[in-house]
Chains A and B, each alone.
Chain A
């Protein structure tokens, strides 16, 4: 049976549904009998619920317009032409 330490290492993957069914069955059995690991599992689930409930911040119209303004200025910038120095060939033609 899976140990508490082993479970603590893979609990994130278990919650994300990324483990094989065999391992998941073992974990469920462990959680059913181990109050500490059950508590840990519940806390991780609650943590993720917090994240999902955490509201998405919408930007204001002013912020959007400021953003479009800087992109517009970028668009208006003249193209920079890089003047690369001419490579001087080291080989000299020998007559």
Chain B
């Protein structure tokens, strides 16, 4: 199986210079699996982060990551290029997460209690290096991160997707509106309400 996978990965050799997303998409649409794998490598971290912020659960975020790329793989031929590839991909991600949240709502409460700590991120590799390493600062930072994630998990899902894409992933209002198929006015309104909600929830940390 692994040998087959390797041959799948090496099915078409890509040039050394990085290709633009649009070029990789064109190649993937023609059935070039190496091009699709390159797109996966480019966006898997961001897709995982959106899913984790939306779902507040490591295992569910991994499942959402897989669901997102399977859907992208199935439907890449239907992608017309009206928006950037990543906006299209993030739309799939948020839809996958919202579906999971809806399903979860039937089984249990979507929100987490403030007393309930979110999944520990200790063993995950971080992109940004820690400038300060004193145990007190690291502990404080970890607590703040947990508080942020808990507060995000308590946001109503329609605000959560906007805040995650706009404030945590750094998309523009226009990109968020395309990804979530909302008007720019709706994005701005939900973003503001989401921020107001989070400001209240995180007042303890913000007022320090």
Contacts and interface: CB of A to CB of B under 8 A. Distances in A.
Contact of A66 (B37, B66, B127): B66
6 contacts: A11-B192, A44-B199, A57-B52, A69-B5, A72-B5, A75-B8
Q: Is the interface of B mostly helix, strand, loop or mixed?
A: helix
Interface of B: 4-5, 8-9, 33, 36-37, 40-41, 44-46, 48-49, 52, 62, 65-66, 69-70, 73-74, 121, 124-128, 144-145, 148, 167-168, 173, 188, 191-192, 195, 198-199, 202-203, 205-207
B191 to A, nearest CB: 6
Given A64-B44, A71-B40, A57 B195 contact: no
Nearest to A40: B199
A43 interface: yes
A47 B5 contact: no
Query: Which A-B residue pairs are the 3 nearest by beta carbons?
Result: A12-B192, A56-B127, A58-B125
A12 B188 contact: yes
A72 to B, nearest CB: 5
A66 to B, nearest CB: 7
Contact of B188 (A13, A55, A56, A69): A13
Chain A interface: which size bin? 20 to 34
A71 B70 contact: yes
Contacts of A9: 192
Given A43-B199, A50-B148, A59-B48, A67 B192 contact: no
Given A43-B199, A55-B128, A60-B125, A67 B36 contact: no
A52 to B, nearest CB: 8
A74 B199 contact: no
A63 B199 contact: no
Nearest to B144: A50
Interface centre among A18, A60, A69, A75, by most chain B C-beta atoms within 10 angstroms, is A75
